[in-house]
Amino acid sequence: MINDTHLGRMIHDRIKMYGERIALRYREDGIWKEISWNSMGDQIRAVSRGLLKMGVKEGDMVALFSQNRPEWTITDYGIMAIRGVSVPIYPTNTAKQTQYIIDETEAGIIFAGSQDQYDKVVSFFDGSPYLKKIIVFDDNVRLNDGGKSIYFKDFLDMGRKSDGDQELERRLKEASLEDLATIIYTSGTTGEPKGAMLHHSIFYYSSLAHMKRLDTSDQDVSMCFLPLSHVFERAWCFLASSRGMVINYCDDTSKIIEYMQEVKPTVMCAVPRFYEKMYSAVFEKLETAPPSKKKLFLWAIGVGEQVYLKKKEKENLPFDLKMKHLIADRLVLKKIRDVVGGRIRFFPCAGAQLSKEIEEFFHSVGLFITYGYGLTETAATVTCHERYHFRPGTVGKPIDGVQVKIAKNGEILVKGETITKGYYKKPEATAESFENGWFKTGDVGILEEGYLTITDRIKDLMKSSGGKYIAPQLVETTIGKDHYIEQITVIGDARRFVSALIVPAFNVLEDYARTHHISYSSREDLIQNPRIIEFYQSRIAEHSKELVGHEQIKKFTLLSTPYTQEAGEMTPTMKIRRKFINEKYRDVIDRMYREK
């Protein structure tokens, strides 16, 4: 149990409890290195004392602008232990976006990770009326700012040599459940970002609810994969530390499968895109496999599905099914689980819609996806699957202490101790987001027998010129699960039919073109080839059988360049900025509706 209501005290208690056991692991020069709880505690205290030396007062904001690494977590706890407020910033944010957050929160100190983040901060340092110091995690960063910055290792030395213990103990003793822990800025698909205020009480009640819903212990090994600046990974790491787990840091998301095979985690948070890519990779290989291997694979998945359906309902397995499953597991299913290390007990998953077909595939393989739903403003989780009797296709039932209801317009409303009290310095936005004490999520959903299903975003819902409603996320999830599709944006608002912009998965498409002797000189040339267009038309038509008539894509355009955050088409959490895309590709879209 978490007896401490304040994260600063909680982590100090866990350090005393676990001592020389491993707390954190990170990869350096191809080797996994370990940090004990005692060593982590020493560094947390050094951070706290260093910040006290720099004059950080209770309630002051301190920014974190870095990719995942142990120093991120250590600094986060060090800030909170002196009753400061940590302000995470996505490592991919631009200098302009970063300065906006620094200036609004009046943060005087920022911790920067790599050269990229450091250079961005230096570019606006002199223009910020609040920023006083940059503390740089990576020793290899070239400092060229005339004394505005200090390396993290030197900052720790300064903290260790200071005499701030008495003040640190006083602040820890007086730390309150109602202290503001962090301000997390929503990336915003439209407009300026808003800083959701999350107090220590929110994480306390969230952790209690998760301990009731999820089976975790100090024997678990967690992989820190999603950005720590995202509430999902951050809240999970708070829970992981409180449970005494070993946290392993993934500093390069492109190497996640390699890291998982080395670390063999038992739990890892991920967004649906992770599973979609893995699913696509499996079925890409299957397409070129001999008929005998295809038959064996599909038989094994079918057996796995029978087993998972019975297990989730706590039904006994017939002897013949047990025997079949042993064979299917040894020949096929175990090999898929080994791709992610072979020890995963469950995968917490949220952040976007996940196809029911893909979810059930992983359950059939023996990889339990604890699919859920939440927002920054709800400290990540509103609902998630229970261990038994869950319903694929839904995002599960509300966690303990959270109430959910559906408004007349279909919007999901939530209430509870884990909900933000509002947005920092934005009283109007706060007022607009609440209705009689219920937080308005902006998502559309259905609540049946306690199970919540997300259908779309209020702002994303489209209405055709014929008066038919279209839920674009449903269409995008249904069509986008095809492993020849990397990204898809559905268009249809005030239009006479649904169209789409599609970015092909070029690695598999180029293989297809070579196999079928389709010559091309560039990606632009490839996507204009009539045989390629016809190929995509047939795949879209096949998946569209799951959609009603007015939801089906009648026309589409293939794009040669993927959407990126740098180009403004994606948020830091990899959600598409629909309005921006519609404006950027207006001519392409209009052309689809002019053509007969």
Domain limits for position 165: 7-175+229-247
Q: Given this model, what pLDDT does residue 77 score?
A: 98
* Cβ neighbours of 556 (radius 10 Å): 20
Task: Say whether 455 sits in a helix, a strand or coil.
Answer: strand
Per-residue pLDDT tens over the stretch 256-307: 999 999 999 999 999 998 998 899 889 888 988 999 999 999 999 999 999 9
Does 540 reside within a domain?
A: yes
Does 297 reside within a domain?
A: no
Q: Given this model, what pLDDT does residue 405 score?
A: 97
- Look at residues 113, 57, 64, 49 and name the one whose alpha carbon lies nearest to residue 84: 57
Q: Given this model, what pLDDT does residue 576 score?
A: 86
Assess whether pLDDT exceeds 80 at residue 2: no
Q: Given this model, what pLDDT does residue 489 score?
A: 95
Instruction: Return d(Cα 470, Cα 462) in angstroms, integer.
Output: 5
Q: How confident is the model at residue 353 (pLDDT cuts 50, 70, 90)?
A: confident
Per-residue pLDDT tens over the stretch 151-177: 999 999 999 999 899 999 999 999 999
Q: How confident is the model at residue 187 (pLDDT cuts 50, 70, 90)?
A: low
Query: What is the helix, strand, coil percentage profile of the chain, to 5?
Result: 45, 20, 35
Does 492 reside within a domain?
A: yes
- Which whole number is the average pLDDT over 455-474? 83
The residue behind tokens 């696509």 is 280
Report the percentage of the chain scoring pLDDT > 90.
83
How buried is residue 554: exposed, middle or buried, by Cβ count under 10 Å (0-12/13-18/19+)? middle
Task: Return left, alpha or beta for 366; rule: phi > 0 is left, psi -120 to 50 is alpha, else beta.
Answer: left
Does 391 reside within a domain?
A: no
165-174 and 37-53 helices, crossing angle to 10°: 100
Assess whether pLDDT exceeds 90 at residue 206: yes
Query: If you average pLDDT over each of 4-8, 224-228, 493-497, 547-551, which comes out highest?
Result: 224-228
- Which whole number is the average pLDDT over 200-212? 96
C-alpha distances in Å from residue 484, one per residue of 336, 496, 509: 21, 27, 6
Per-residue pLDDT tens over the stretch 53-66: 999 999 999 999 99
Provide CB contacts within 8 A for 435, sequence distance 6+: 407, 413
Instruction: Return d(Cα 73, Cα 75) in angstroms, integer.
Output: 5
Q: Given this model, what pLDDT does residue 1 score?
A: 40
Q: Amino acid letter at 31?
A: I
Does 475 reside within a domain?
A: yes
* CATH number of the domain where residue 497 is located: 3.30.300.30
Per-residue pLDDT tens over the stretch 527-579: 999 999 999 999 999 999 888 888 999 999 999 999 998 888 988 777 888 88
- Which whole number is the average pLDDT over 129-134? 96
- Which whole number is the average pLDDT over 440-444? 94
pLDDT mean across residues, the chain: 94
Q: Given this model, what pLDDT does residue 466 score?
A: 78
* CATH number of the domain where residue 24 is located: 3.40.50.12780
End-of-domain residue from the set 212, 247, 282: 247
Does 524 reside within a domain?
A: yes
Strand partners, 25: 34, 248
Report the percentage of the chain scoring pLDDT > 70.
98
Does 266 reside within a domain?
A: no
Assess whether pLDDT exceeds 70 at residue 190: no
Q: Given this model, what pLDDT does residue 188 score?
A: 56
Instruction: Return d(Cα 74, Cα 451) in angstroms, integer.
Output: 37
Does 89 reside within a domain?
A: yes
DSSP state of 551: G
Domains identified in the chain, total number:
2
